[in-house]
Amino acid sequence: MKISISPNANKNALKSHAWVGLAVSVLMYWVCFSGALSVFSQELLRWEQPHVADNLDYSPATIQAAYEQFLTMQGGSAEGDIVVRLPTQDLPRARISADGEVWNIAPDGSLSEPSSTPITDLIVDLHVALHLPEDTGMMIVSMLGAMLSALIISGIIAHRRIFKDAFRLRTGNNEQLTQGDLHNRMSVWGLPFHLMIALTGVYFGLASFLTSFYADALYAGNKMDLFADIYGSSIQVEAQPQIANIAGALTELDRIAPNTQPIFVTLENATRDSQYILLSSQHMDKLIYAEQYRFDSHGNYINKVGYSDGKAGQQAIFSVYRIHFGHFGPEAMKIFFGLMGFALTIISVTGINLWLAKRQKQDILNQLWVGIVWGTPIAMVIAAIASLLFGLATKPVFWVILTAVLVGALRQQVLVKTHLGLLKMLTILLVILPVTHAVVHYPDVMVLNSLVIDVAFVVFAACVWRYRDSRIRKGWLS
Amino acid sequence: MMLSLAAFAGSAFAVGMFYTAWRTQQPATGQIMKGLAVVLMLVSLWLWSYEHGPELGTCYAVVAFSLQAWSWIYVARQRIDKNIKRVVLPFESGMQWPGVNNITLRLLKAAAVIFLCAVSAMLLTVVWTTALPMNKVNQIALGIYTMPVLWGAFVYWLCADNTDWRPVLSVSLIGVLSYLLIYSV
Candidates A9, A210, A336; nearest CB to B147: A210
Residue B35 touches chain A, beta carbons under 8 Å: no
In tens, the pLDDT along A117-145 reads 999 999 999 999 999 999 999 999 999 99
Query: Which pLDDT does position A385 carry in this prediction?
Result: 98
> Taking residues A185-207, what's their average pLDDT?
92
Query: What is the domain partition of chain A in residue ranges?
Result: 361-478
Q: How many CB atoms lie within 10 A of CB A305?
A: 20
**Cα separation of the two ends of chain A:** 45
Alpha-carbon span A106 to A112, nearest angstrom: 5
Beta-bridge mates of residue A295: A277, A301
Inter-chain touch B149–A199, beta carbons under 8 Å: yes
Contacting residues for A285 by C-beta, under 8 A, at least 6 apart: B52, B53, B55, B56
Q: Which of B123, B130, B156, B161 to mutate to test the interface with A (most CBs of A within 10 A)?
A: B156
Residue A2 in this model has a pLDDT that exceeds 70:
no
Residue A150 in this model has a pLDDT that exceeds 90:
yes
CB contacts of A347 in chain B (<8 Å) are: none
Among A283-292, A395-404, B76-85, name the one with the lowest average pLDDT: B76-85
CB contacts of B52 in chain A (<8 Å) are: 285, 329
Candidates A13, A143, A219; nearest CB to B160: A13
Reduced to 3 states (helix: H, G, I; strand: E, B; else coil), residue A302 is: strand
The residue of chain B with its CA nearest to that of A221 is B183
Indicate left, alpha or beta for A400 from its phi (over 0: left) and psi (-120 to 50: alpha).
alpha
Inter-chain touch B137–A217, beta carbons under 8 Å: no
In tens, the pLDDT along A226-235 reads 999 998 888 8
Candidates A146, A319, A365; nearest CB to B151: A146
Query: Which pLDDT does position A233 carry in this prediction?
Result: 83
Give the closest-approach CA distance of B144 to chain A in angstroms. 7
CB contacts of A474 in chain B (<8 Å) are: 86
Reduced to 3 states (helix: H, G, I; strand: E, B; else coil), residue A262 is: strand
Inter-chain touch A210–B122, beta carbons under 8 Å: yes
Candidates B73, B142, B152; nearest CB to A153: B152
Candidates B63, B89, B140; nearest CB to A211: B140
Inter-chain touch B156–A153, beta carbons under 8 Å: yes
Inter-chain touch B63–A340, beta carbons under 8 Å: yes
Q: How many CB atoms lie within 10 A of CB B45?
A: 22
Reduced to 3 states (helix: H, G, I; strand: E, B; else coil), residue A95 is: strand
> Taking residues A297-302, what's their average pLDDT?
94
**Alpha carbon of residue B45 to chain centroid:** 20
Average pLDDT, chain A: 92
Alpha-carbon span A421 to B133, nearest angstrom: 61
Query: Which pLDDT does position A454 carry in this prediction?
Result: 97
Among A1-5, A24-28, A162-166, A219-223, name the one with the lowest average pLDDT: A1-5
Alpha-carbon span B6 to B11, nearest angstrom: 9
> Taking residues A419-446, what's their average pLDDT?
96
Q: With 0-12 CB in 10 A as exposed, 13-18 as middle and 19+ as buried, what is A447?
A: middle
Residue A399 in this model has a pLDDT that exceeds 80:
yes
The residue of chain A with its CA nearest to that of B80 is A172
CB contacts of A478 in chain B (<8 Å) are: 86
The DSSP output letter for B113 is: I
> Taking residues A385-390, what's their average pLDDT?
97
CB contacts of B63 in chain A (<8 Å) are: 193, 333, 336-337, 340
Inter-chain touch B148–A145, beta carbons under 8 Å: yes
Inter-chain touch B137–A314, beta carbons under 8 Å: yes
Interface ipTM above 0.85 = yes
Residue B107 touches chain A, beta carbons under 8 Å: no
Average pLDDT, chain B: 89
Alpha-carbon span A227 to A339, nearest angstrom: 35
Residue A249 in this model has a pLDDT that exceeds 60:
yes
Residue B162 touches chain A, beta carbons under 8 Å: yes
Reduced to 3 states (helix: H, G, I; strand: E, B; else coil), residue B39 is: helix
Q: How many separate helices (H) and strands (E) can be counted in chain A?
A: 16, 9
Residue B81 touches chain A, beta carbons under 8 Å: yes
Give the closest-approach CA distance of B82 to chain A in angstroms. 7
Residue B133 touches chain A, beta carbons under 8 Å: no
Residue A215 in this model has a pLDDT that exceeds 90:
yes
The A101-105 sheet, strands edge to edge? A111-114, A101-105, A94-98, A82-85, A260-268, A276-283, A291-296, A301-304
Q: What are the start-end ranges of the E strands in chain B?
A: 78-80
Contacting residues for A217 by C-beta, under 8 A, at least 6 apart: B126, B127, B130, B182
> Taking residues B81-107, what's their average pLDDT?
75
Chains A–B, number of C-beta pairs less than 8 Å apart = 236
Give the pTM. Answer: 0.93
- Closest Cα partner for B56 from B64, B48, B65? B48
Inter-chain touch B53–A286, beta carbons under 8 Å: yes
Inter-chain touch A210–B135, beta carbons under 8 Å: no
CB contacts of B76 in chain A (<8 Å) are: 167, 169
Inter-chain touch A217–B122, beta carbons under 8 Å: no
